[in-house]
Amino acid sequence: MKEAKIKEILGNKITLLAKLAGQMENQVKAIDQNDEPLLTQILDEKEAVIESLVSDDQELEKGVALLDEKIRVAIASKLKELGAQVESEIQKIIGMENDCEKKLLNEKSELFEKMRSTKNGRTLLKGYGVSARIKSKISGSI
């Protein structure tokens, strides 16, 4: 694999990571707005981008494995800046994913509390329901 091909793959990876970061921003908005259909659409789009990233990684790994160690080191030093950009984008995406996870966990716990309070409220209301008619024990005609 030549240096130009590696550079092309890394450039494509940066583009895909930037697209993924944009989708993450949309995901945060969808979570804040409780827009489930939009969130589902965004997650599907993210899945497609992630699949592209995985295939690029596999292609890069196969190509780099065929290179001599000396050539690998030379190419790595030349493309150090691209590697730093990739790393930066990945760290940004990880931070956004962690924020989304925290928001969703908070929503889950709030929903759980609402469900628990509703259940407790139903239990308490049972005591205030309509009481059954008490039949007289004196005679059957009353």
Tell me, what DSSP letter sits at residue 131?
P
- Pairwise CA distance, residues 121 & 65, whole Å: 64
pLDDT beyond 60 at 23? yes
pLDDT beyond 80 at 121? no
Reported as half-sphere exposure (CB side, CA atoms, 13 A), residue 84 has a value of: 5
Distances (CA, A) of 45 to 16, 34, 39, 41: 12, 18, 10, 6
Kindly list the structural domains of the chain, giving each domain's residue range(s) and its CATH number in brackets, ordered by start.
3-111 (1.20.58)
pLDDT in tens, 52-72: 999 999 998 888 888 888 888
pLDDT at 12: 92
When comparing pLDDT for 100 and 117, which is higher? 100
Q: Which helix (H) or strand (E) holds 16?
A: helix 3-32
Mean pLDDT value across the chain: 84
Token digits of residue 56? 């690029």
